[in-house]
Structure 1
Amino acid sequence: MNDVLRTLREARPAELDPDAPVDGRVRQGELARAMAAGPGPAEVRSRKAAWRRVRPVWGVGLAGAVVAAGAVAAVTFVPSGGDGPEPRRAGGDHGQTQKLDAKTVLLTAAQKADGRGDTMRAYWHTVSISSHTYTIGKGSARYSVTVRDKYESWTPSKQGGTAYGRQQYLGAKPTTAADEAAWRRAGSPDTFEIRVPVTPGGKITKPYRAKLAPTSRQPPKLSASPLVDGDKVYWLGRNVTMAQVRALPSDPKRLKSELMRWYEGHDTESDRPMDGGEWLYRVASGVVLDMPVRPEVRAAGFRMLAGLPAVKSIGRVTDPQGRPGNAIAVDGETPSGTLREQVIIDLSTGTALARATVMMKPAAGTDVPAGRTMSSEVVLTAEWTDSAPR
């Protein structure tokens, strides 16, 4: 691990130096990758990511992703309405008259994924929207605001290529009607100050001001960065190359064995103990959600998840963009309470649409109501393209 961190530090772009001034959009990108939850009795406490975002190396690079993964906001991370409506039970089951069990959901998705085409091209192109909610103020004056970002990335298929990224801040707003009323009582401020550590888990923080509306109506700027070591593109229990991603086995048992080689008994983002099933679920959710694996490997990922005893079916829901799907989930214990990590799947195409973290049972002293979505990530596009970004 120390060797990996040293490599990442050496690869860090100058603009990510902890002593450098913080650009608002860069800091927001870090915030959007940080998962935090639950205030302590005397002060706000934070925790590391509830699930690891398997993101291409772009813009801030792998070093930035490591910094972001360790960053925890000095505010309460509370349930949000997501990138739109909170994931909810979907009306109209389109012929589905009862809740399918998790194994049926995943095996159906696998069958559909198996039949999809796949032609590797110059770039793996993804578009996603992330949403996180933070608590502002104290006591009776507390209210929550939801911050949203859109990410677009182009990951090269060949080593030595350049990764491109585009991030667009979509603004912040009070999360619920009650939060909006409290926000108005507070004078309807148009900015919300959040503080984040400059290094993973560090005590030194820098402020970030989330604005009610996007800071500029101009199109977001395109960023570019070389691949770490010239070929590392994703995190999959370790930093991997595109060739390694494409070479993942299509047999569920072999895929599980390959991924579990890198399991060390703890959370993907911290030293918190975690059993192998929960760890595997977190890693595999990235495989089925938006990684450029071969269709038969994505199908193997679904089949592998179907074999995990802890995976349960949630039933028909809509994702934060309002798209209907079937949700599966795994519950895990954290210092803040029991968290449910949910993946929403479109069974008609064998496509994972989104994932979200839901507080199921708050720990004592955690000011987070049960049953609310705390964060979400929606994948709008995940496809090969020969078109370079403009």
Structure 2
Amino acid sequence: MSRKTDLLATMAAVRPDRLDPPADPGRLERIRARAMSKPEPEPGRVTARAPRRRIRYGGAIVAAAALVAGLIVVARPTGQDTDPPSARRTLLAAATTLQEGDTAAGRYWTADLSTYTTASYVGDTAAGPPPPTAKPLYRFSSTCRARLWAARSGRDTSWLVVDAVTDRRLSGADEHAWLRAGAPRPRTCEIHGMSVGLRAAPPAALALQRTMRTTRREEPTYPSAAGVPITLDQIAALPTDPTALKTALDELWLDSTASATEPKADRTPPPDVTFQQITDLLVGAPAPPAVQAALYRVLAGLPIDRSHGTVTDRLGRHGVAFWTATGATDTRLIIDPRTGRPLAVESRLAGELDGYTLVLRQGWTDTVPTLPAHRL
């Protein structure tokens, strides 16, 4: 038998069992013996060259076996997914994509937002917040459409334009209680937990402060980071170095929760607070791409989980979800890894969808906003 014929026989011998017609229990041992045996020298050949030919021959057997093994791997059931990349690696890649893809410039950083939340009405709160034990009069869902216009220059005014707010009671009993309470109109627009007070019916515009921090309780708290008001100048001054940015976010939270009995140096914001700060700045606040990329890099350093494969937001757009342990409230950030853009943030309470904010569009523009007559 020639070596060519012997090699073909060996290749046939390492085929998957499902391709061999009869069962052959001794096949594996014969393959091993054939691979380890010395080939017979051909007539007229110098035997001193045999070691080199053995090396080639063994390599050919290994290559043939690897090829067949490769075919076996390809033939795996298609339903078995490989493990997705780690959360850290995905976030770092999204940060690079976002930063490298931002070549545009404009007069305003803009975003179109759509929000949904569920809430409870506990009566007129003009006299102050209700006690924690107050029983809700009725429950309702609220949707808000808003547009952000954050001016690059301090010489221009920045705006949040609330186009529409719609409240719907969750049940017939809630509807009756709403009517008994006087059918009050919507009073706020909630953008991922950032409450914008409606002193005028939408459409209405809110001028955003560049330097003044909101202090009065009845004033809008937009924009904010984890419930702490933040001004446009503070956002613009956020560093793009991840370590420095994490320190700035920590300081923002620590300053707002300062306590005389607990020194600031002895306190560290828990990961869920930093996660909330990042999602607020990414999704609902006027953070431009360079800051967004840095926020992703800070997020990559937290104990973060990511979805196995892709998920879809409420508009059916595909992305990757990230979250961290936050107790009963599960908040998930969804981004598009192809562009690095944030798509949405969703909140669930005890497993039930409690609210979300969708980013319909983000980007720079030179177009000046058309403002409604009413002001907030």
Normalising to structure 2: TM-score of the pair? 0.54
- Deviation for aligned residue 1:382: 2.0
2:166 — aligned with what?
171
2:321 — aligned with what?
327
* Separation in structure 2 between the aligned mates of residue 210 and residue 283 of structure 1, nearest angstrom: 26
1:1-390 matches, cutoff 5 A: 98-134=83-119, 145-169=140-164, 171-173=166-168, 183=172, 192=178, 208-209=184-185, 221-223=203-205, 225=207, 227=209, 229=211, 234-236=223-225, 239-264=229-254, 275-309=269-303, 311-315=304-308, 316-333=310-327, 338-359=328-349, 370-390=350-370
Change in Cα spacing, 1:267 to 1:346, as seen in structure 2 (3 Å) is farther
Change in Cα spacing, 1:286 to 1:120, as seen in structure 2 (3 Å) is farther
1:194·1:209 contact (CA, 8 Å) conserved in 2? no
* Separation in structure 2 between the aligned mates of residue 159 and residue 312 of structure 1, nearest angstrom: 38
* Separation in structure 1 between the aligned mates of residue 330 and residue 225 of structure 2, nearest angstrom: 21
* Separation in structure 1 between the aligned mates of residue 213 and residue 329 of structure 2, nearest angstrom: 35
- Deviation for aligned residue 1:349: 0.6
Larger Rg belongs to: 2
1:265·1:276 contact (CA, 8 Å) conserved in 2? no
Kindly provide the CA deviation profile for residues 113-170 of structure 1, in whole angstroms up to 9, marking residues without a partner as x.
Answer: 1212244432222211111124699xxxx99643211011222222253333332335
* Separation in structure 1 between the aligned mates of residue 305 and residue 257 of structure 2, nearest angstrom: 20
* SS of equivalent residue, structure 2 residue 184: strand
2:150·2:286 contact (CA, 8 Å) conserved in 1? no
Paired residue type of 2:363? E
2:29 — aligned with what?
none
Change in Cα spacing, 1:120 to 1:245, as seen in structure 2 (3 Å) is farther
Change in Cα spacing, 1:327 to 1:170, as seen in structure 2 (3 Å) is same
Paired residue type of 1:251? D
* Separation in structure 2 between the aligned mates of residue 165 and residue 194 of structure 1, nearest angstrom: 33
Normalising to structure 1: TM-score of the pair? 0.53
- Deviation for aligned residue 1:100: 3.9
Q: Work out which structure has the larger RCO, using CA pairs closer than 8 Å and 6 or more positions apart in sequence.
A: 1
* SS of equivalent residue, structure 1 residue 388: coil
* SS of equivalent residue, structure 2 residue 150: strand
- Deviation for aligned residue 1:234: 4.3
* Separation in structure 2 between the aligned mates of residue 347 and residue 379 of structure 1, nearest angstrom: 15
Gapped regions of structure 1 (runs ≥ 5): 1-94, 196-205, 212-218, 360-369
Change in Cα spacing, 1:228 to 1:266, as seen in structure 2 (3 Å) is closer
RMSD across aligned positions (CA): 4.0
Paired residue type of 2:86? D
Higher strand share goes to which structure?
Answer: 1
Kindly provide the CA deviation profile for residues 330-389 of structure 1, in whole angstroms up to 9, marking residues without a partner as x.
Answer: 2223xxxx1111101111110111111112xxxxxxxxxx32111111111222222122
* SS of equivalent residue, structure 1 residue 253: helix
* SS of equivalent residue, structure 1 residue 165: strand
2:210·2:232 contact (CA, 8 Å) conserved in 1? no
Change in Cα spacing, 1:193 to 1:171, as seen in structure 2 (3 Å) is same
- Deviation for aligned residue 1:207: 6.9
Change in Cα spacing, 1:165 to 1:284, as seen in structure 2 (3 Å) is closer
Paired residue type of 1:107? L
Q: How many residues align?
A: 247
- Deviation for aligned residue 1:312: 1.3
Change in Cα spacing, 1:158 to 1:112, as seen in structure 2 (3 Å) is same
* SS of equivalent residue, structure 1 residue 129: strand
- Deviation for aligned residue 1:313: 1.5
* Separation in structure 2 between the aligned mates of residue 252 and residue 194 of structure 1, nearest angstrom: 52
Change in Cα spacing, 1:166 to 1:373, as seen in structure 2 (3 Å) is same
* Separation in structure 2 between the aligned mates of residue 149 and residue 277 of structure 1, nearest angstrom: 29
* Separation in structure 2 between the aligned mates of residue 118 and residue 236 of structure 1, nearest angstrom: 27
